């Protein structure tokens, strides 16, 4: 008998993926988690009815969350990932040779364990890198209590439902701001502007109160159904978002010109060129 798994994120429509083979389907300590194989998207993980990662297109989201802020900053020594238990953003971040240490804070240990078991190609050894530190904790508590300062903070969160909801609040963003080193960059997962416009407007609205430069950029990940994905952007260095393509190319070359499948210097620059309907959300 065929099994189809429905994504339930959006109010006005539903998307179903055929589960050719179910590998895991159970409640963790914090959320409902299912892992299955699909002929079009590869191996898929859903949390609380929402697609989180699919092996055939995960490179889009992970490359764009990591390389845009890391190459824009250009001198990242210490970075922090909130969420990101699949290890994809961690994997991409560790490709930057100047990075000396990176902390990944994940609230649900079972997400890391299951992804290491069922999605080993996503983390690709990143958890075993000596620069990696894993913290199993509530990310809101970490940024509120830490004395460390990070050059880049990447909030690789679920959508604002269940345990991920607190990662879209003004107090959390303010604590992230405090945990940044001077000139640091905060990047956040902010949903699909076409379907989740209020989410992006609210987050970047908070950023406008906290940072000299508050904006967003876009990338299209096929398994995140409903249009391009937005990433919130906040920093006090107003030059970082406006770097020219040749400057990004030079930094990529200095990092070893490692191969990518979606991110490129020209895509990096173009990602900040927002369609009018998104720019209206971002500029208020």
Q: Nearest Cα to 17, choosing from 1, 9, 5, 25? A: 5
Q: Quick check: 199 and 232 in contact, CB under 8 A?
A: no
Q: Quick check: 148 and 77 in contact, CB under 8 A?
A: no
Q: Nearest Cα to 181, choosing from 56, 63, 66, 78? A: 78
Write down the H helix ranges in the chain.
58-73, 88-93, 109-118, 120-123, 139-145, 170-179, 197-210, 245-254, 265-270, 276-283
Q: Quick check: 34 and 50 in contact, CB under 8 A?
A: no
Residue 159 annotated as catalytic: no
Q: Nearest Cα to 172, choosing from 155, 149, 193? A: 155
Among candidate residues 86, 151, 156, 159, the one labeled active-site is 156
User: 157: which 2 tokens?
Assistant: 């969160």
CA angle, 64 as apex, 85 and 250 as ends, to 5°? Answer: 125
Would you tell me how many other CB atoms lie within 10 Å of the CB of residue 48?
19
H-helix or E-strand spanning residue 34: strand 32-38
Contacts of 3 (CB under 8 A, 6+ apart): 18, 19, 22
Instruction: Tell me which residues are annotated as active site.
Output: 156
């Amino acid at each position: 008998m065929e099994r189809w798994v429905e994504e339930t994120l959006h109010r006005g429509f539903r998307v179903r993926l055929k589960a050719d083979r179910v590998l895991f389907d159970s409640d963790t300590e914090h959320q409902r988690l299912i892992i299955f194989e699909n002929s079009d998207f590869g191996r898929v993980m859903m949390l609380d009815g929402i697609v989180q990662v699919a092996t055939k297109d995960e490179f889009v989201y992970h490359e764009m969350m990591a390389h845009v802020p890391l190459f824009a900053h250009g001198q990242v020594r210490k970075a922090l990932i909130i969420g990101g238990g699949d290890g994809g953003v961690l994997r991409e971040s560790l490709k930057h040779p100047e990075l000396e240490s990176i902390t990944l804070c994940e609230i649900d240990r079972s997400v890391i364990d299951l992804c290491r078991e069922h999605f080993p190609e996503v983390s690709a050894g990143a958890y075993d890198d000596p620069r990696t530190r894993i913290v199993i904790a509530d990310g809101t508590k970490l940024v509120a209590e830490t004395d460390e300062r990070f050059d880049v903070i990447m909030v690789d969160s679920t959508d604002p439902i269940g345990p991920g909801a607190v990662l879209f609040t003004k107090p959390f963003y303010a604590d992230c701001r405090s945990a940044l080193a001077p000139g640091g960059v905060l990047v956040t997962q902010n949903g699909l502007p076409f379907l989740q416009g209020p989410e992006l407007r609210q987050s970047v609205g908070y950023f406008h109160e906290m940072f000299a430069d508050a904006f967003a950029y876009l990338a299209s990940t096929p398994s995140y159904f409903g249009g391009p994905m937005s990433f919130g952007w906040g920093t006090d260095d107003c030059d970082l978002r406006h770097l020219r393509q040749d400057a990004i190319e030079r930094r990529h070359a200095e990092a070893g010109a490692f191969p990518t499948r979606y991110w490129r210097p020209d895509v990096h620059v173009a990602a900040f060129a927002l369609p009018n309907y998104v720019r209206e959300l971002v500029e208020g």
